[in-house]
Structure 1
Amino acid sequence: MCQMYCKLSTEAAAMGDQPKIMVFRPTWEEFKDFNKYITYIESQGANKAGLAKIIPPPEWQPRKKGYNLDDLDMTIPAPICQVVTGKQGLYQQINIQKKPMTVKEFCALANSERYRTPKHSSYEDLERKYWKNITYVSPIYGADVSGSITDADVEEWNINKLGSILDYVNEDYGISIDGVNTAYLYFGMWKTTFAWHTEDMDLYSINYLHFGAPKTWYSIPPEHGRRLERLANGFFPNSFKACPAYLRHKMSLISPQILKQYSIPFDKETVLLNLFPAAAITITQEPGHIMITFPYGYHAGFNQGFNCAESTNFAMPRWVEYGKRATQCQCRTDMVKISMDTFVKRFQPERYELWLAGKDIGPHPEDPTRSSAAAQPSLNDVLCNKNLCTCSFYM
């Protein structure tokens, strides 16, 4: 036990100062070039927290005519009722699909006596109410609505056309993936939740809150992502047994208090050494603010009331190594999987043949102590690259 304690204490001490979620306020000139600015914030260490906030300059107007709901003549085709079960900071969420409704109908529901935001004195007070009442009155979430409400002529930071290297999925494979390389809209109400997860293929993501109530975000620094996974596996053993990548189902909720109380299960025992003293970092996104999540950055959160956000994924060259080594859910047919062929060929040409042969051995970028071979492409996920003529299939 003493040996275990010493090892965990060393691990905890090595964590050092916890990364902080950074907030950036670019000028209009700095803001104009999306890829250049993402590179800049990473040079400042923004990616270390897994999440960053950007407050756009006043010159940026993504929707000039504003947000009168009469102008948002949209239907939410598949609203979901989020049913949460569990207790004492550990919960599972299932989604039950409801009938389509218009945005105006959803707004009326969100502001009704049953679903509206409770009275509160601060963001912290509302956060306490969220965790205290998480299993009561299942909210309705207008999630994953394909489309954009950003003006089509917006050239800077237009979520529907960011111009990142993820565009090669469409250019080289001719594939459009809703919500991944196209925009999704999210209409929230009080207590609607996004459970702990990383993005599909461990991509970057961008989330812009167009209007309405704020979002509360939690983030785990990517360097502690493996710790979170081991902790979650101990709390949800049946889920882990059924699918080792079950966190990609976006159904598991762990409160920040649990992360502060428990260490990583080690040698089949749990030692209370506070290995997560502040691992779940909290920040509030207000209307007009942009949140960026980084590769392998676990995040979760909830909406504080009726609102509308627009989101998509994107990629930078740094992501390629994460994408090659991202875990995959094998139990669901609707999970997103992107062939890494064009990315490895373009950005890691010296490793391409090794990768094809299943001999690209190395560590995950956030787990440098363990090396393994990146998964080689299979018959099902090597797609014909029409620009680079990679039409061969590899087993």
Structure 2
Amino acid sequence: MFTRCAFGDDEQAKIPRIMTFRPSYEEFKNFASYIEYMESRGAHLAGLARIKPPKEWVPRKSGYDIENINMTIPAPICQVVTGTQGMYQQINIQQRQMTLRQFMEKANSELHQTPRHLDYEDLERKYWKNITYISPMYAADVKGTLSDEDLDTWNIDRLDTILNLVNTDYGIEIDGVNTAYLYFGMWKSSFAWHTEDMDLYSINYLHFGAPKTWYAIPPAYGRRLEKLANETFTDSYQECNAYLRHKMTMISPKVLRQHKIPYNKITQEAGEIMITFPFGYHAGFNHGFNGAESTNFASKRWIEYGKRASICKCRSDMVKISMETFVRRFQPERYENWLKGEDYGCHPEEPGKNCAAAPPTLNIYDQQTSSQAAKSKEISPQKRGCSLAMNAQTIAVENDEEDKSSVCSSSSSRLKKAVVKLRKLPSVSPSPSSVRNKYDFNSIAAAQIKRAWNELPCDKPGTNLLTNGIVKNTKRMRFQTKELTLDDED
């Protein structure tokens, strides 16, 4: 169920492996205690762990008949992947809202259905071979839960951890961070390399459907991945030194092996729980139509990670959490120095690098607002950011009800008017034609189809039926005995 990249025997022996836990119901009852037990076994060293819950734990007694789940997906995304040789960028194009049943029908359609495969390894090869073809849709960051309201044990929508202090002390509710988000996937829908917001823990329960493949890098090797990504996607790194938080970067296992970055992979099946640990980079893809529920949580061990987590400053709507309440409550002896920016120490995964933790910032709320919220206990919902920063002329586009899509880097935006913000670096002055060509998705599709045509194995020459120029109003295109299906709605 999991593999590692090949190293010398000495280094290979040091690489932590993903652990699987099978708790009894008694062991399972106390969430925080069981996470602490897992870490006592060293589960956090791999950055990812799997739990097979006890059979007594049933999060949804009514089952998962889609006909009986009345749910609307407000902003599904179409995932357009560009790149080559194992290094890719994923751009999410927001689509019109649809019901869960409509999403399921699309996922099971001829265009998006899971290809025939021998095993998980065979399906993984097909994923990376075809990652830039036939863009899948992903219903990500859908606010809500599939768990029963009376579920008291491991209820993802209300985990009782110290992360709740953000709500208790500041009256801040952060969708998907201290409340649950739902994720409905289809074949090839993906989540790019990232750590959680503020390097928090996360929990992901696969309620139903096709499996999900995960890749994980041990936290001790996370800086290696960052270095590789920064050297490859230099423009993105120059614009935002925390651009991996945009969740757009895809790097294949083959490239990780070439650069000696250790990783594990594991396949999560329906009814299983995945736990990601602080500073654990992870990525993955769905095998077909499925539904998962996820949220973040925290422990005292996380606090030092949170104090030193990278922050994306190019987007005002990225999740930021003030560490003030955590330092004051759990590290009182360091509180005064931390306020002055003199809290010297090491990042937990960089023991030899001594530096000061970032002092408190106003972040998403000022002290006055926080104080008032704490007194009134009024919940102020804060939603995850959704914008796209690129090296192009600044453009603001507001769409009305008839607009079909808007570009965003996450599907979390629930704005009535979608806004596209493209940023310009001072040193870049692209011509209008170059900007138009760079973001002309029809041209990208045409280039990908031409490449597919050239790569098709055929003993006889055949005839290329691909027309030059923009491809539109075309449902099927035949290449001799091969057939490529396009979805004109996308």
Instruction: Give the alignment's TM-score, normalised by structure 1.
Output: 0.90
Q: Counterpart in 2 of 1:271?
A: none
Q: Counterpart in 2 of 1:20?
A: 17
Matches within 5 A, 1:97-116: 97-116=94-113
Amino acid at match of 1:122: D
The 1:27/1:90 distance shift into structure 2, 3 A limit, reads same
* 1:317 aligns to 2:314 (yes or no): no
Amino acid at match of 1:224: Y
* 1:39 aligns to 2:36 (yes or no): yes
CA contact (8 A) 2:168 2:374 kept: no
2: distance between equivalents of 1:285 and 1:119? 19
2: distance between equivalents of 1:291 and 1:53? 5
1: distance between equivalents of 2:136 and 2:294? 21
Aligned residues: 366
1: distance between equivalents of 2:293 and 2:211? 13
Q: Tell me the percent identity.
A: 65
1: distance between equivalents of 2:77 and 2:117? 26
Instruction: Name which of 339, 346, 352 aligns with 1:369.
Output: 352
1: distance between equivalents of 2:311 and 2:83? 26
Q: Counterpart in 2 of 1:266?
A: none
Deviation, structure 1 residue 13:
5.4
Instruction: Name which of 274, 289, 301 aligns with 1:306.
Output: 289
Instruction: Name which of 200, 203, 216 aligns with 1:206.
Output: 203
Matches within 5 A, 1:169-248: 169-248=166-245
Q: Counterpart in 1 of 2:135?
A: 138
* 1:288 aligns to 2:271 (yes or no): yes
The 1:151/1:16 distance shift into structure 2, 3 A limit, reads same
Deviation, structure 1 residue 83:
0.2
The 1:386/1:164 distance shift into structure 2, 3 A limit, reads farther
Amino acid at match of 1:28: Y
1: distance between equivalents of 2:267 and 2:96? 31
Amino acid at match of 1:40: Y
Matches within 5 A, 1:369-388: 369-380=352-363, 383=367, 384-385=370-371
CA contact (8 A) 2:83 2:89 kept: yes
The 1:387/1:331 distance shift into structure 2, 3 A limit, reads closer
Cα deviation, 1:29-66, whole Å, max 9, x if unaligned, reads 00000000000000000000000000000000000010
Q: Counterpart in 2 of 1:165?
A: 162
* 1:327 aligns to 2:300 (yes or no): no
The 1:144/1:388 distance shift into structure 2, 3 A limit, reads closer
2: distance between equivalents of 1:164 and 1:138? 38
CA contact (8 A) 1:239 1:246 kept: yes
Larger relative contact order (CA 8 Å, sep ≥ 6): 1
Deviation, structure 1 residue 387:
9.8
Cα deviation, 1:96-139, whole Å, max 9, x if unaligned, reads 00000000000000000000100001000000000000000000
SS in 2 for 1:366: coil
CA contact (8 A) 2:240 2:314 kept: yes
CA contact (8 A) 1:203 1:314 kept: yes
SS in 2 for 1:176: strand
CA contact (8 A) 1:186 1:308 kept: yes
2: distance between equivalents of 1:26 and 1:120? 32
Q: Counterpart in 2 of 1:268?
A: none
CA contact (8 A) 2:215 2:283 kept: yes
SS in 2 for 1:37: helix
Cα deviation, 1:259-304, whole Å, max 9, x if unaligned, reads 0012xxxxxxxxxxxx33xx12000000000000000000000000
Deviation, structure 1 residue 71:
1.6
Instruction: Name which of 152, 159, 175 aligns with 2:149.
Output: 152
SS in 2 for 1:92: strand
Deviation, structure 1 residue 379:
3.6
Instruction: Name which of 94, 103, 116 aligns with 2:91.
Output: 94
Q: Counterpart in 1 of 2:55?
A: 58
CA contact (8 A) 2:341 2:357 kept: yes
Amino acid at match of 1:189: M
Deviation, structure 1 residue 15:
6.8
CA contact (8 A) 1:172 1:386 kept: no
CA contact (8 A) 2:81 2:91 kept: yes
The 1:11/1:203 distance shift into structure 2, 3 A limit, reads farther
Deviation, structure 1 residue 12:
10
CA contact (8 A) 2:78 2:137 kept: yes
Q: Structure 2: state its 5+ residue gaps.
A: 1-6, 376-490
CA contact (8 A) 1:82 1:96 kept: yes
CA contact (8 A) 2:322 2:361 kept: no
Amino acid at match of 1:347: F
Amino acid at match of 2:130: N
